[in-house]
Amino acid sequence: MAETFKNRMVKLGKPVTIERRLDNLFFTALQATDTTCFILISYSGETESILKVAEVLKKRQLPTIVLTSFGDNTLSQLFEVVIRLSTRERLIENLGNFSSLISISFILDSLYASYFQRDYDKHYNQKVMMSRAFEQKRKSSNPLLKEGLEDY
């Protein structure tokens, strides 16, 4: 889900870094510029390593968006912008995190759409231009998919 968000944002000229290793995220937080915005995703909001990162972000007053479950947790108490995830699953006794994954996907899609609409014409034109440059030989015999392809 984060990769999809990244791929979309890159096409709008907004670089996104996804850091799976929390030690690297900690070092990134220490070195980030004031214009860097962090999105922290933590279902429990209580993971020790992400809380270390959060403390650095809070101390440095870097823009941070937290995606976490409903209810009170340490991570949500640190930041003003908190978006709540579906909490239809238990931490350990669950059948695959379906509702939280759908919830995260919806939130990231909404953040992307919100950013896109801020300057819709510019972002649309930029995305189309980049897609056309990359997908010059893309073809389809499906008439529903062909619209616009003949312009390549």
Q: What is the pLDDT of residue 92?
A: 61
Asked if 82 and 145 sit in the same domain, the reply is no
Asked if 59 and 132 sit in the same domain, the reply is no
Asked if 44 and 114 sit in the same domain, the reply is yes
Supply the range of the domain harboring residue 10.
Answer: 2-118
Asked if 53 and 23 sit in the same domain, the reply is yes
Asked if 141 and 80 sit in the same domain, the reply is no
Domain count, the chain: 2
List the strands of the sheet with 64-69, edge to edge.
38-42, 64-69, 82-85
In the three-class reduction of DSSP (H, G, I as helix; E, B as strand; rest coil), residue 68 is classed as: strand
Asked if 100 and 126 sit in the same domain, the reply is no
Contact 2, 41 (CB under 8 A): yes
CATH of residue 111: 3.40.50.10490
Asked if 7 and 66 sit in the same domain, the reply is yes
Asked if 75 and 133 sit in the same domain, the reply is no
Distant-in-sequence, close-in-space partners of 74: CB < 8 Å, separation ≥ 6: 45, 46, 51
Asked if 127 and 104 sit in the same domain, the reply is no
Q: Quick one: tokens of 139?
A: 């073809």
Model confidence pLDDT, tens digit, residues 66-117: 999 888 899 999 999 999 987 765 656 666 667 778 889 999 999 999 999 9
Asked if 74 and 141 sit in the same domain, the reply is no
> Is the pTM of the predicted complex or chain greater than 0.95?
no
Asked if 124 and 139 sit in the same domain, the reply is yes
Model confidence pLDDT, tens digit, residues 107-145: 999 999 999 999 999 999 999 888 888 877 777 777 777
DSSP labels, 130-141: HHHHH-TT---S
Asked if 103 and 136 sit in the same domain, the reply is no
